[in-house]
Amino acid sequence: MALINLDKKGVKWEIRKAGYLTVNVDGVIHWEHQQSGRVDDAADELAIQAIIDNFSLIDYEKKLKISELKTEGVARIQDIFPAINDFDELDLVREQWLSIAPAARKATADFQSMIDIVQAGKAAASDINALTTIPEVQAYDVVNTPTWPA
């Protein structure tokens, strides 16, 4: 059985995330399951084809755009807290803060700015996920479209 549509943009990344390496040798695709070490197993081929069949290019484009958005958010936060380098960890910090905020003292101006930047990033990610076409996703400007705090 030959894999169909293996060359879809981004699909090879999804296959790698599932634990498979694919190699094209003289036009023949070979795959190896990284955890078990199986090579060219028929069951693995079915699993890879299922990944290809269920792959969504618009979802892939949205992941790329949200990754770009997070990079922009981290750059804005690093103006305040230079050691910060992970937007997702800051979302956890934001959630923790919001859970204790009623009992805590008021956030410092810098910490509130960080919370506001993370909130703007979350809202922008929701906006990106709501887009319905690939050109809309690709055109989304992560620098100027979100309502980043000043």
DSSP code per residue over the chain: ---SSTTSTTHHHHHHHTTEEEEEETTEEEEEETTT--BS-HHHHHHHHHHHHH--HHHHHHHHHHHHHHHHHHHHHHTT-TT---HHHHHHHHHHHHHHTTTSPPPPHHHHHHHHHHHHHHHHHHHHHH--SHHHHHH--TTTSS----
The winner for highest mean pLDDT among 8-22, 62-76, 99-113 is 62-76
Q: Mean pLDDT, the chain, as a whole number?
A: 86
137 vs 9, residue with greater confidence: 137
Inform me whether the pLDDT recorded for 79 exceeds 80. yes
32 vs 118, residue with greater confidence: 118
pTM of this prediction?
Answer: 0.71
